[in-house]
Structure 1
Amino acid sequence: MLFSNNLINHYSTRRKLISVFILVSLISVVRSRDLSCANAKYFTNPGKVAVDLLKSPVNGESLKICTSRLTCCSQEQEIQVHNVIRSSYDKHLKQTLYTLSSVLKSRAHRFDGFFKELLSTSKKSFHDMFKRTYGIIYEQNSFLFTDLFEELEKYFSKGNVDLIEVMDNFFSILYQKMFTVLNAQYTFDDK
C-alpha cells in the first residue's frame, strides 16, 4: 500500500512537471502570423501559482527554459516556473525521504528487539546447559560467560567495544580454565 501511494505521488508529480514543460513549450512557440501572446494569458500550475505572461512575444535567446525563438515567457517568468517546479520537487522528495526514514526506523526498532531477545535467550540457554553439564566447575567460572554477554550487550547498544578483543580475551581465559580443570593433578602458577 505504501509503495503504491509513493508510486501515485511520483506519477502525480511527474505529470505536473510534464504539464509545466508542455506549457512552457507552448508559450515559447509563437507562430509567425500570430505575433501576440493573447492566446496564452495566464499559466496556472494545477491551482497553485499563476504566472503572468508577456503581452507581446520577445526574443528568448537569453532564456534557459523557454526556446531561443520568439516567446511569451520572460526571465522573471522562467524564475517563477523554476521556483514552482523546485518547490514541488522538494516537497515530493521530503515526503519520500520521510516515508523511507519511517520504514527504516520501524524495522531497526524491530531488529533491536529481536536481537536483544536473542542475546537474552542465548545467555539463559548457555547458562542452563553448562550448569547441567558441568555443575560446580561451571558455576565457579560462570563469570566468564556473564562477562562475555555483558560485553556483547554493550557492543550492540553502544558499539564502542572492540569485539575481536572481547572474543580473544574470552577464549584465552576459557582455554586456560579448561586446561586447569582437565589437568587438575598439576599445580599451576600465574605464568
Structure 2
Amino acid sequence: MGTLLLLLALGALLCSAAVGEARGARSCAETRQALSSRGFALGSVPPTLISGEHLRICPQDYTCCASETEERLSEQGQADLQALLGETGAFLTSTLGSRQRRFQDFFEELLAGAERSLQAMFARSYGRLYTQHAHLFQGLFVELQHHLKGVRPDLDEALSDFWSQLLERMLPLLNPQYSFPEGYLECVGHQVESLHAFGDSPRRLRVQ
C-alpha cells in the first residue's frame, strides 16, 4: 500500500510541476530527484517542462512526465497492485484453509463419536450377534470417512451395498429354519429398497 501511495505522490508531483510553470518555474529538478530515488534513469525524465499532449496518464498540458516515464510508472503501479492483491489473496487462502481444516476435524470427531456410540449401543442390545457382523457397520463408517475426505464424492453405491449386505446377513438369521442359496441371497440383497426390508431407513440415511 505504501508503494501505491508513493506512486500517487509522484503523480501529484508531476502535476505540481505543471502548476509551477505559471510562476515561471520550468525546472523538473524536484521530479527528477524523486523519480531517481525510485530507480528511474534520469535520461527518461526531461530536465524542464514539456508538452504532455501525447500522454495518456500524465497531465496533457506542461509536465515533467515523458512517454518513457509514463510507461514506467504504469508498469510499476501494475506490479505493486498485483503484489498487494497477491498478499491479500494468500491471506484469504490461508484463512479459509485453516477454517476448512477446523471444520474437517470437527466433523471427523462427530463421525468417530457416532461410530463409538453405535457400537456400544448395538453391542449392548444384540451382543454376540452384533459382534459377528460388526465389520458391516465398520465398513460403512470407513465409506463415510472417505466421503468426508473427498475420496468418494458419491455415497449412493456405498449405502446401497451396505443395506444389501445387511439384508443378506439378516435373512438367514431371522429365518433359521430355511436354507437360502447364496445366489438367492444376493438377488434379494439387490432388491432391498423395492422390498422395503428396512422401511424408510435407507432413504433417510441417504438424505442425511
The TM-score, its normalising length taken from structure 1, stands at: 0.73
Q: What secondary structure does 2:65 align onto?
A: coil
1:157 Cα deviation (Å)?
3.6
1:174 Cα deviation (Å)?
2.1
Counting only pairs closer than 5 Å after superposition, residues 1-191 of structure 1 correspond to structure 2 as 15-16=5-6, 18-27=8-17, 31=21, 34=24, 36-38=26-28, 40-42=30-32, 44=34, 49=38, 51=40, 52=42, 53-157=45-149, 159-160=151-152, 162-190=154-182, 191=184
TM-align CA RMSD = 3.1
1:57 Cα deviation (Å)?
2.7
Structure number, greater radius of gyration: 2
Q: What secondary structure does 1:44 align onto?
A: helix
Further displaced range: 94-103 or 176-185? 176-185
Structure whose residues are more often strand by fraction = 1
How far apart, in 1, do the equivalents of 2:88 and 2:81 lie? 11
Q: What secondary structure does 1:62 align onto?
A: coil
Any gaps of 5 or more consecutive residues in structure 1?
1-8
1:58 Cα deviation (Å)?
2.6
1:87 Cα deviation (Å)?
3.2
Query: What is the identity percentage for the equivalent residue pairs of Structure 1 and Structure 2?
Result: 31
How far apart, in 1, do the equivalents of 2:169 and 2:14 lie? 80
1:65 Cα deviation (Å)?
1.1
Any gaps of 5 or more consecutive residues in structure 2?
185-208
Q: Count how many residue pairs are aligned between Structure 1 and Structure 2.
A: 180
How far apart, in 1, do the equivalents of 2:110 and 2:148 lie? 12
